[in-house]
Structure 1
Amino acid sequence: MTDSEIRALIVDDKAFMRTMAGRILYSAGVTDVLYAENGAQALDIIKSADPPVSVVFSDIAMPDMDGIQLARHLAKLESRPCIAFVSGSNPAVLATTAAMAKARGLTVLGTIEKPVSLDAVKQALASFISTTGKIATSGTHSIDLNRNDIANAARSGEFILYYQPKTNLNTNSLAGFESLIRWNHPVHGIVQPGAFISFAERENLIGDLTAIVVARALDQLSAWNKSHFSTRISVNLSAKMLADLTLPDRLEIECNRRGILPHQLILEITESGLFENEADGLEILGRLHLKGFPLSIDDFGTGYSSMDQLRRVPFGELKIDRAFVNGAAQNARARAILESAAQLAHKLGLSVVAEGAETEEDCDLLRKTGIQYVQGFYIARPMPVTDVSEWVKTWNSRHSGKFH
């Protein structure tokens, strides 16, 4: 998808601000722009627009329906546009609104402080283009699903893994990959997880998908080991798997069967994934650690129990959520949180991975903060396994002998 294919909606109660934002979008290459004076009017436009609105730039403080209320209503729609929040309010209000919208399942492209700049709009559009395209690959659109669709896709081998590299900021060396599920749909093509993960969670099928991811990752590690390419893959464990007391032994058996060392499989646990049963979850994580599987706390800072989990669980890695990484150089609050999280991790002896680095400026800040590992679109986008070998060759050739 290009800028010219984007249909944007500007929502602001001030006519002057709408006009200025429209001109900036036009300068950025977006020529199909709609306008609304408040959230209620915007909602009506979004429901009836054909072709549909793909991205919304919304003010927060407006009469009749403010931007916060608009986000709540958008989250209820079957087909939802991405959204960027624009405001002259306290930056903390922008951050709160963005966090609320994400919690409701919306794709938030960023927050923009007034006066709106061309660079800020371009960054939001770049984020949109990098995460969405046609409906088949967009995590912001849903596909009509039932339980049989997921089961049939699993049996047919339609769920595949994409791999996003993780690199060392100081040496530019490859540190491994994160595995990310995709659905190779016979009709819609490659479908992003945003189109089916929420459904799988509601239908209690997420454990089945996680099992597929783990099995695929182990098979890939085995294949790479046999081709003398030794690396590590991170997989995200669901809460359901952390309720299975047989998991540590089964993972050990599967690794041994494939000739994989436990340290090659990094197990990521989101804060929200802990625990269906606290005692069982702690036992499972403790035994996984004893068997040599590295444990990583994923999306650090987005849950409600970060500190308690760091105290109780033998994590070896902390992954800082992208919300505190991308654009932190321009956001003092995000930068302070980023620096504090890195300092905490170092004091606890944990390695630190920053997710969501999209610019050289992001990486420069992470390096200055003392963060060692990074992943994000600036390094590489998630890729099919067929592209990994060529990417590794290109990366190594480009960065041979270059250190920071």
Structure 2
Amino acid sequence: MLTPPSLALISSPPHHRQRTLLGQPDNLSVSEVLAKLPSADDVQWGLRRREFVSYVQPKFDLRTGQVNSVEVLARWHHPLYGVLGPATFISVMEHEKWLDKLLFELMEQSLAWQIKLHDQGKLIGMAFNLSLSQLMSDTLINCLETRLRRHPLPLSSLTLEITEDGPSSVCATSVEQLNRLRLLGIRLSLDDFGTGYSSLLRLCQVPFSEIKLAKEFTQFTDVPSRYPAVIRNTLALAADLDMQLVVEGIETVAQQNLFSDMGAKIGQGFLCAKPMAIDAFERWVQNPYSYCQTRSAI
């Protein structure tokens, strides 16, 4: 297993963590305590103890319900508060520059699982989130290249979803790093398209192979507005650029039908499935069609 040196496990007295998490007035509710979590020490301890776990959410064919790929998402299996979502820890990780640690932890778990599923006869594509700010690190890219070159499955089955985290254009260093990864055979996806600072400029600067239309557009397709026109033009843009378009936030059959009729092929959202643990997905994927609505069943 290749992990950056900073991921090495470091022991820390459990009682110290108890004081960090539970050193609150007795009259605070659990929700109030959680509102004060996590501190940087708490998150660091969670990383060292490998409490951050890969969850996956399927991407599905809008017409057939078929699932061939997933997005890998992080969940914190907190020893005191159960499963916590990214809103409770991502901002701390960004501030402390620990997103690389999280990426490698999720990747190690998920790639091992992808190999296991492949051995069972099913190749599931996997997408990981990577922010533009992370691309400034040569160390990260070098570690990624080394790790991915050892992966026995086609790297075209892996996608990096690039998230926008600032108003500036992609600098030359970021473009060079992305091209290095693209030359390995990895697919690049522009996440949350339409809501960032300069998404159209990103498309011109980086060799993306996928656009993910932000869920904000999905929510307003059932009311008179300009949203459908923007969506139709985004679909046309993706086709002209020879990119796949994934529609985020599909929660109703009506949304599924509308986007399918408009020409979209791939969706992601609660209509198909919520994010789930890897072992749950292994059971789920044996018969996903009972969960994903299909046009023939509508």
Q: Place the TM-score, normalised by the shorter chain, in its bin.
A: 0.7 to 0.9
Structure 2 counterpart of 1:207: 100
Does residue 257 of structure 1 match 2:150? Answer: yes
For structure 2, which runs of at least 5 residues remain unmatched after alignment?
1-26
Cα separation, partners in 2 of 1:242 and 1:276, compared to 1, 3 Å: farther
Query: Counterpart of 1:372 in structure 2: which amino acid?
Result: K
TM-score (norm 1): 0.61
Contact (CA 8 Å) 1:235, 1:267: kept in 2 or not?
A: yes
The structure that has the greater radius of gyration is 1
Cα displacement string for residues 267-319 of structure 1 (whole angstroms, at most 9, x for unaligned residues): 00013279797121110111111110000000001112111110110000000
What is the Cα deviation at residue 365 of structure 1? 1.0
After superposing on structure 2, the runs of 4+ consecutive aligned residues of structure 1 that deviate more than 3 Å are 246-250, 273-277, 396-404
Question: Secondary structure of 2:172's match?
Answer: helix
Cα displacement string for residues 217-255 of structure 1 (whole angstroms, at most 9, x for unaligned residues): 222222222333211111001334311235455334323
Does residue 395 of structure 1 match 2:288? Answer: yes
Does residue 191 of structure 1 match 2:99? Answer: no
Structure 1 distance, partners of 2:167, 2:109, is 23
Does residue 145 of structure 1 match 2:4? Answer: no
Does residue 326 of structure 1 match 2:241? Answer: no
What is the Cα deviation at residue 338 of structure 1? 1.8
Structure 1 counterpart of 2:162: 269
Does residue 242 of structure 1 match 2:154? Answer: no
What is the Cα deviation at residue 160 of structure 1? 0.3
Question: Secondary structure of 1:237's match?
Answer: strand
Structure 1 counterpart of 2:5: none
| Equivalent of 2:118 in 208, 225, 229 | 225
Q: Which has the higher contact order (CA 8 A, sep 6+)?
A: 2
Contact (CA 8 Å) 2:55, 2:73: kept in 1 or not?
A: yes
Contact (CA 8 Å) 2:253, 2:293: kept in 1 or not?
A: no
For structure 1, which runs of at least 5 residues remain unmatched after alignment?
1-49, 53-133
Cα displacement string for residues 69-108 of structure 1 (whole angstroms, at most 9, x for unaligned residues): xxxxxxxxxxxxxxxxxxxxxxxxxxxxxxxxxxxxxxxx
Question: Secondary structure of 2:226's match?
Answer: helix
Structure 2 distance, partners of 1:204, 1:247, is 12
CA RMSD of aligned residues (A): 2.8
Cα separation, partners in 2 of 1:255 and 1:223, compared to 1, 3 Å: farther
Structure 1 distance, partners of 2:145, 2:153, is 9
Structure 2 counterpart of 1:371: 264
Structure 1 distance, partners of 2:88, 2:289, is 34
TM-score (norm 2): 0.81
Contact (CA 8 Å) 2:194, 2:214: kept in 1 or not?
A: yes
